[in-house]
């Protein structure tokens, strides 16, 4: 059998069911891989080895008795370090909270424990979740496993890096303007942002209470859906999923005209064009849609200002006006909203509401929107971070809509495509993402062939 750490959720569950593998062995394999690789990757802040071993042993007994709790029972997972897990530090990536030790699990962690998942530990992140490189001066510069010296993205960079490096089968991150989907795209994995409010954010150190979401990252669309369904189990009754598609034939997919305002790098532009060709070949109806209130750059800046204003309230209340313990960079960002003035903050909220209304109208005419996840692939640590990283992803947060990022190519670095559906349509979107994933598989295969050819002597 392959190294258990190489197995995703579906493969692990199949092996547990057959008895060819048990959760203890799977957990030990991941812990060994963490020990061997993470000193370089810096994807973990805290490794909970002993707790994970205890949870794995309990899971082993359930599988041996034929009473597993479900498809996540015994699966090794990890969570971003702004999500509370009882008895483990929750730093939010800042020295200010280095000694914060929650007494209780956040609801999302409690949900995973009820499903029998094994918690390996807490994952690195951009300080305060306000940034997209996970270049963390306190807990380590997190590396993209696919390219030495490159960023995994952020702010859930440790989550994406750990999944891509096979240190865990899946992970949780948080997403405020793309912080699950940006690192998913940079690291060639899958990421899901739910409808705002569909998955509880209690027990999460907030960046923006208006925009924050918790979402999973995984190695396949199927695995992503398994974790997402476990977290959506308590989805409020107001969120009613539409029937799932079983084919792309006749599915109406909208391409926002405003993408013309975003400077896409060559690899992203070519990959996105290839996706649209594959969708049409599968029978989808690809149509342009207009989101007149959405100007990607100005809207992203409005969202950032809202984040800075709401984060300033949270951190100021806990750390005082001096913001003791946070970095100078983070402190400057937290103070920016005050410098900007109330009128600009109010205008930023108005911009978000206008974008949300435009998306609501668009979803009346299409089943989903499709757009690149990021305008660029990963870039080296130390290089200037592109301001446009969240130009495409922030749209879903403004719309309060579910979104999925899928890898579409890796030549030489991954790029991603993003699907968005109407708020509440989370489960249908996950099913649609699986269909799209199958449709774009030839793009990934072609990119892999080119990479192998380039690597040949």
Catalytic site residue from 43, 155, 327, 378: 155
Instruction: Find out whether 72 and 116 touch, Cβ atoms under 8 Å.
Output: yes
Distance between CA 205 and CA 82 in Å, rounded? 5
Q: Is 147 a catalytic residue?
A: no
Catalytic site residue from 179, 208, 220, 327: 179
Catalytic site residue from 29, 43, 59, 80: 80
Q: Is 405 a catalytic residue?
A: no
Buried b (16+ CB within 10 A) or exposed e, 283-314: ebebeebebebbbbeebbbbbbbbbbbbbbeb
Query: β-strand 252-256 against 368-372: which pairing, if any?
Result: parallel
Task: Give the catalytic positions in this structure.
Answer: 80, 155, 179
């Amino acid at each position: 059998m392959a190294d258990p750490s190489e197995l995703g959720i579906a493969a692990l569950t199949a092996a547990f069911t057959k008895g060819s593998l048990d959760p203890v062995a799977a957990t030990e394999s991941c812990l060994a891989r963490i020990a061997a690789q993470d000193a370089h990757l810096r994807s973990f802040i805290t490794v909970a080895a002993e707790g994970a071993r205890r949870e794995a042993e309990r899971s082993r007994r359930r599988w041996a008795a034929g009473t597993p709790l479900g498809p996540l029972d015994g699966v090794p997972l990890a969570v971003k370090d702004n999500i509370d897990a009882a008895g483990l530090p929750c730093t939010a990536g800042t020295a200010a909270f280095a000694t914060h030790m929650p007494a209780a699990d956040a609801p999302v962690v409690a949900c995973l424990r009820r499903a029998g998942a094994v918690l390996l530990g807490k994952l690195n992140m951009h300080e305060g979740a306000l940034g997209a490189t996970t270049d963390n001066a306190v807990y380590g510069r997190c590396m993209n496993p696919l390219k030495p010296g490159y960023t995994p993205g952020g702010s859930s960079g440790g989550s994406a890096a750990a999944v891509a490096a096979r240190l865990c089968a899946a992970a949780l991150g948080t997403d405020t303007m793309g912080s699950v989907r940006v690192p998913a795209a940079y690291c060639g994995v899958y990421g899901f942002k739910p409808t705002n409010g569909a998955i509880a954010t209690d027990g999460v150190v907030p960046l923006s209470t208006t925009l924050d979401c918790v979402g999973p990252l995984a190695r396949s669309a199927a695995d992503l859906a398994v974790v997402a369904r476990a977290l959506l189990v308590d989805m409020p009754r107001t969120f009613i999923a539409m029937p799932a598609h079983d084919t792309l034939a006749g599915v109406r997919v909208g391409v926002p005209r405003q993408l013309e305002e975003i400077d896409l790098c060559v690899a992203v532009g070519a990959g996105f064009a290839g996706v649209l060709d594959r969708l049409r070949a599968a029978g989808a109806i690809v149509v342009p849609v207009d989101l007149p209130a959405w100007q990607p750059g100005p809207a992203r800046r409005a969202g950032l200002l809202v984040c800075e204003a709401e984060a300033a309230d949270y951190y100021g209340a806990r750390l005082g006006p001096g913001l003791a313990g946070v970095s100078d960079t983070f402190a400057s960002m937290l103070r920016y909203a005050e410098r900007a003035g109330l009128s600009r903050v109010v205008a930023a909220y108005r911009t978000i509401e206008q974008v949300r209304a435009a998306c609501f109208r668009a979803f009346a005419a299409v089943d989903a929107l499709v757009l690149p996840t990021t305008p660029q692939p990963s870039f080296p640590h130390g290089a200037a971070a592109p301001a446009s990283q969240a130009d495409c992803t922030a749209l879903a947060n403004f719309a309060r809509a579910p979104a999925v990022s899928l890898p579409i190519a890796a030549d030489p670095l991954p790029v991603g495509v993003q699907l968005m559906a109407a708020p509440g349509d989370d489960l249908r979107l996950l099913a649609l993402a699986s269909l799209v994933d199958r449709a774009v598989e030839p793009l990934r295969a072609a990119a892999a062939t080119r990479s192998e050819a380039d690597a040949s002597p």
